[in-house]
A and B are shown apart, each in its own frame.
Chain A
Amino acid sequence: MKIRVQNLRREFGKTIAVNSVSFEFESGQIYAFVGPNGAGKTTTMRIMATLDEPNAGDVFMDDLSVVEYPEKARHLIGFVPDELKPYWDTTVHEYLDFFARAYGLRGSQRTEAVASVEEFTNVAGIREKTLRSLSKGMKQRVSLGRALVADPQVLILDEPAAGLDPRARVELRELLTLLAKQGKAILISSHILTELTEICDGVVIIEQGNLLESGNIDDVMAKRAPRRTYALRVLGEPQDLLRQLLQTAHVENPRVAGAELHFEVEGGEDEAFGVLNTLIANGHRVVEFRQTKANLEDIFMNVTTGGVQ
């Protein structure tokens, strides 16, 4: 399934929250939706989830218009908001069961679907606990389970990692990777950009309602971060090597990162080979030399200006 956001525009009075935003992604892909606060991410996601209507433009799930036929589109969409507002006096199992019923699942089909998401999101052990008693991480798992209960083909996650501890974030990331492998199209907005880099296939960057960049993450990085970043580890003190690197041709912005040295190379792989050759020739005992993926955070800082509306 291909999801196409097409010339989306949403105004609130005189404020243009989303201004002619277009991008696309498809089944099996995870797309990061990034932008500063007030950029229009939530508005775009709410429109995609049929919770709002644009002033212009449309969202297509294959050929199905979300704006024109939201009732049909809802069968395809799972939406995870930034925070799960629990219902009073409801257990995890009852909550998931309720949404399974609300999505029209019946009898054994519902029982199986609920059991399946409980197992997948690893909440089966806490199914009889009330939602209020859960930690933030567990609530997000339940929230993800709720979105998955009707087996949607598209998942829209609005800041799902906000407030999660590192372990919960890693677990969420693993779940999302699994879901993408199952063929779901995933759009995720998050402020924790370093983590998104590892799981995302593509990125959409917006600011002040305007689309700044969208596409495959490698293409965007190649375009927005033309210098290749390398990591280097040597036996001995990295500080000695840092001095050497500062004097080496084609090397830019060398810095110590823990036991490693990171630097950018102007040019292609020939220049990178030249740098490595020089270091070895000068007697440095290189034990690791690799190209690092540019960070989404770097691109984000590169592309956005920090303006808010």
Chain B
Amino acid sequence: MSEAVKSTRFAWLRSIEPNAVLVKDLRQAARNWSVTGAVLLMMAIFFIVSLGFLLTDEMAGRGNYLGAQLFGSIAGVMMAVTFIFLPIYVGIRSIAERASASADLLYITTMSPARIIAGKFLSGAALVGIFFTAALPFMVFSYLLRGIDLPTILLTVGYLYVLNCLLLLAAMMLASMGIHFIFKILIALFVGLPLIIYTMVGALGTAMIAGFGGALSGGRFLAEALPLILTILLNIGLIAGLLFFLCVSFITPRTANREFPLRVYCAVMWAVIGLEAGVWALVEDEWEIFGYGFGVFCGLLAALGIFYAIGQEDHLSVRVRRDIPRNPLRRAVAFLFFNGALGGLILSCLFSFGGLLLIFAGLEAWPMLTGSSSSTHDWSEFCSGFIMLGLYLIAHALMSLWIHRTWLPTRSPMWPRLFFLVSIGIPYCATFVIYYLFTQDFLEDGTIPGIMLNSFYAMADGDEESVYAHLIAALVLTVGALVLNAKWIFERLKDFKPYERPATPVAPTASVKAAPSATHEGPTPPKLD
């Protein structure tokens, strides 16, 4: 092949433009002393550990397992550095950039928020790759010492890499949130750090103890390990996607239709998880995998969705209205996916109750599909518990919105989230304390209808009467909350209409007004310029 032909064939490679944020972040990382220092420190530790293994009597004592032992130590050190350092590094940089005016400058470029987040994520993933590459010579060395096979090394490294990327996304999501940085630090300390430690311990346990290498040997791989690995990868991918779209939603300006990609993704995720649970149920011939697996997922998604949705603004900007369809049917669907608390609330309810409906439809169809009986369990208990919790959540969400609108309308739209948590937690704690004060005993009786957290006792005991009492209470609360919010719901539905451009633009005039008097009456507002 001539040079000219080769050059033409690969010419398209030169036209590939890497993500701008990826390039910037990698340049910054290359110049940052903390990144270079962490890599050097990690390599120094690897060297000392490897040397220690060779110089001490470990080599004689462990014989054929020395390679595995050394690999375990190297993987442990690598995880300790990359799982902790990199999420902190990426998170802090993202917080700093988001907090400064530079973020504004970036937003007025033609880069979309999705590309910004993708660039940040890719640069983080590249940094993980650099750290992992630094560990590569030592891993090869551990392989040469024997006691561990190549597939185990590759799968473990791949698994750790994927988890590390997931942690990066979680750090980016926290950094992107529109909350005060003190809250971000608190969340990082009390949620992020335990999550990292748990992931590290879990990862080491899964990778090393389960022994991927063993699963790869013989005919077990295709039948057992591969479906499991694919399922784990799919679920990690889905979680990563959710975190990614949350980041995108958090950094997208409020005037844009920031909820749309996130809600569409949630709908896709809901469908994929349902499909995945269905396939596993069919493969394993166990209806419960679908019923419980999908049911629990739907419940979780709905709970998180409701919590997230009630923190949304009602105001629809011109940019959002611009995209509202004129067709009534399409508009109804758009209402669920566009910005706004009510749409998100309804969509979350559809995820949960739609899931429940699918579970019961599947329950009926299962014998026809498989020829075996669908389930030996009594699903009515699951059903009543599911509906009860769903109704409680809706009632608390609507009440929180009503409190915010009625008492603190000028406060941030995120306040209902706080009311939501408080309205669930306070009644439970209060009754718990009062019960203890009067009876000198702990509250374990599940018959205090109207208190959501109390209903878990009833479900755990399998006390049918108590569950029904809670169900009725939840229903009454929901109806009450709906009545209180009826006007708001009606207004939101009525307000969701396409943008009507002003008929004729008024010719601009230098509308000279008399200078206002120096004694400006009214409230003293914040300094704006």
Contact = CB atoms under 8 A, between A and B. Distances in A.
B379 interface: no
A38 B15 contact: no
A243 interface: no
Nearest to A4: B508
B322 to A, nearest CB: 6
A17 interface: yes
Given A14-B525, A85-B101, A101-B17, A20 B511 contact: yes
Interface in B498-512: 499, 501-502, 505-506, 508-512
A154 to B, nearest CB: 12
B513 A308 contact: no
B27 interface: yes
Contacts of B182: none
B440 interface: no
Contact of B104 (A81, A98, A104, A309): A81
A68 B501 contact: yes
Contact of B109 (A22, A102, A309): A102
Nearest to A78: B108
Contact of B511 (A12, A43, A98, A211): A211
Contacts of B23: 97-98, 101
B319 interface: yes
A99 B23 CA distance: 11
A43 B93 CA distance: 27
From A68, A106, A207, name the one whose CB has the most chain B CB atoms within 10 angstroms. Answer: A68
A58 B502 CA distance: 10
A104 B110 contact: yes
Contacts of B100: 85
A15 B525 contact: yes
Contacts of A120: none
A201 interface: no
Interface string A215-243: 10000000000000000000000000000
Contact of B96 (A53, A88, A308): A88
A85 B516 contact: no
Contacts of B109: 74, 99, 102-103, 150
Contact of B516 (A15, A67, A207): A207
A74 B15 CA distance: 24
Contacts of B502: 58
A49 B105 CA distance: 10
A37 interface: yes
From B21, B109, B506, B520, name the one whose CB has the most chain A CB atoms within 10 angstroms. Answer: B109
Contacts of B511: 20, 22, 211
B317 interface: yes
Contacts of A58: 502, 505
B526 A15 contact: yes
A151 interface: no
Interface in A107-144: 107, 130
A63 B20 CA distance: 31
B105 A12 contact: no
Contacts of A177: none
Contacts of B110: 71, 74-75, 102-104, 150
Contacts of B318: 53, 67-68
Given A85-B100, A102-B110, A211-B510, A90 B516 contact: no
A53 B255 contact: yes
A49 B23 CA distance: 26
A23 interface: yes
Nearest to B27: A94
The interface size bin for chain A is 35 or more
Question: In terms of DSSP, what is the predominant structure of the interface of chain B?
Answer: loop
B439 interface: no
Interface stretch (A246-254, A262-270, A288-296, A299-307): A299-307
Contacts of B505: 6, 58, 60
Nearest to B514: A212
Contacts of B107: 51
A60 B515 CA distance: 27
B317 to A, nearest CB: 5
Nearest to B525: A15
A38 B111 contact: no
B508 A12 contact: no
Given A37-B529, A146-B105, A212-B515, A90 B319 contact: no
A51 B102 CA distance: 12
A7 interface: yes
Given A87-B97, A208-B516, A210-B513, A98 B529 contact: no
The 7 closest A-B pairs by CB, nearest first: A15-B525, A101-B20, A102-B109, A89-B31, A85-B100, A214-B510, A53-B255
24 contacts: A4-B508, A5-B508, A14-B410, A22-B506, A51-B253, A53-B319, A70-B319, A81-B101, A86-B102, A87-B102, A90-B28, A90-B31, A94-B24, A99-B109, A101-B24, A102-B110, A107-B15, A130-B31, A211-B510, A211-B513, A304-B515, A307-B518, A307-B519, A309-B522
Given A4-B508, A98-B23, 18 more contacts: A13-B525, A15-B528, A50-B108, A68-B322, A85-B102, A87-B24, A89-B31, A99-B20, A102-B106, A103-B109, A106-B15, A146-B105, A210-B513, A211-B511, A304-B515, A305-B516, A309-B524, A309-B525
Interface of A: 4-7, 12-15, 17, 20, 22-24, 35, 37-43, 49-53, 58, 60, 65, 67-68, 70-71, 74-75, 77, 79, 81, 83, 85-90, 94, 97-99, 101-104, 106-107, 130, 146, 150, 207-208, 210-215, 303-309
